[in-house]
Amino acid sequence: MNSDQGKPCKGLFITDFDGTLLGSDGKLAQRDLDALEALRRAGIKTAIATGRSFYSFVNSPGVDVPIDYLIFTMGAGVVTQVGHKLLYQVSLSPEAVRQTLEYLRQSTLDFMVHHAVPENHRFYYRRVNTNNPDFESRLERYRDFGQPLDSIPANDFGEAAQFLAVVPSHQTDGALSEVRNHLPDLSIIRSTSPLDHKSTWIEFFHPDVSKSKTAAWLASELGVKPGDTMAIGNDYNDLDLLEWANRSFVVENAPLEMKNRFEQVASNDNGGVAEAVDRWLNGR
């Protein structure tokens, strides 16, 4: 994959979506959209790196973003924004799915297992706990695409894009420690629920899946030098991406520990992305 029509690619800009580019009102600020257009005019490729599935992103009301690429499902897939051409995808093998299911069926976690990209908005689920409102909210939001796990034979799932466990905030540390101990060969990514903004989502992927690894793949495909990369985010699932990029920013609404590690700009409701773009371009 080369730069469009042989034009030199002068850099790669990557932004998280929910809580970073997308405002709390579910809308995109014109200032941020103008900044993305300015990057493209300057010969810099632009991408969104989101935990959302491809389906969830493209079906968001009123979302028409001037970017070149969409990195979705934490890096499990990449599509072009124009034409939605699938360029890259990674899945868990049937054997990895079987082993992970074997562990999770014995755990006390409420979880979902998602089909392979690009159909990973479809999933099976297992509910154990009677008081997990965020899990129930996610089931309700995607009720047309979820089925009980017990409705299929135990070893009949095939490949999967990911597993997702929903954990109340006070159980986060213990659940993360246990999952990482039992599934050391998987990529385990933590994020704050975009639904209740309190619960923790623990996602299990193929070891090659992360925002940073897929961003590095995209940069290599575009011929972008490591020093010409920038990223901005707001949550724990952006950490590896922010550590990978040559220059990184977090919006004001990020957790304190992230604001202590990276340059801070305004919140997602006050043009944080545009501010970061201005700083980066001026610094270049």
What is the distance between the alpha carbons of residues 238 and 227, in angstroms, rounded to a whole number? 19
Per-residue model confidence (pLDDT) at position 8: 66
Number of other CB atoms surrounding residue 93 within 10 Å? 12
User: What is residue 5's predicted lDDT score, i.e. its pLDDT?
Assistant: 45
The size of the chain, in residues, is 284
CA dihedral 262→78→275→223, nearest 10 degrees, is 80
Q: List the chain domain ranges.
A: 8-89+209-283, 94-205
Tell me, what's the pLDDT at 147?
Answer: 94
Beta bridge partners of 232: 15, 249
pLDDT beneath 50: ranges in the chain = 3, 5
Question: Rg for the chain (alpha carbons), in Å?
Answer: 19
* 3-class secondary structure per residue, the chain: CCCHHHCCCCEEEEECCECCCECCCCCECHHHHHHHHHHHHCCEEEEEECCCCHHHHHCCCCCCCCCCEEEEHHHCEEEECCCCCEEEECCECHHHHHHHHHHHHCCCCEEEEECCCCCCCCEEEECCCCCCHHHHHHHHHCCCCEEEHHHCCCCCCCCECEEEEEECHHHHHHHHHHHHHHCCCCEEEEEECCCCCCCEEEEEECCCCCHHHHHHHHHHHHCCCHHHEEEEECCHHHHHHHHHCCEEEEECCCCHHHHCCCEEECCCCCCHHHHHHHHHHHHC
Here the tokens at position 249 are 């920013």
Rounded Cα gap, residues 244 and 112, in angstroms = 29
Angle between helix axes 272-283 and 30-41 (nearest 10 degrees) is 30
Enter the CATH code of domain 8-89+209-283. 3.40.50.1000
Q: For residue 64, what pLDDT is reported?
A: 78
Q: Which CATH architecture has domain 94-205?
A: 2-Layer Sandwich (3.30)
Is residue 143 packed enough to be buried (19+ CB in 10 Å), middle (13-18) or exposed (0-12)?
exposed
* Model confidence pLDDT, tens digit, residues 167-190: 998 898 999 999 999 999 999 999
Given a contact cutoff of 8 angstroms between Cβ atoms, the answer to whether 148 and 126 are in contact is yes
Predicted pLDDT of residue 3: 47
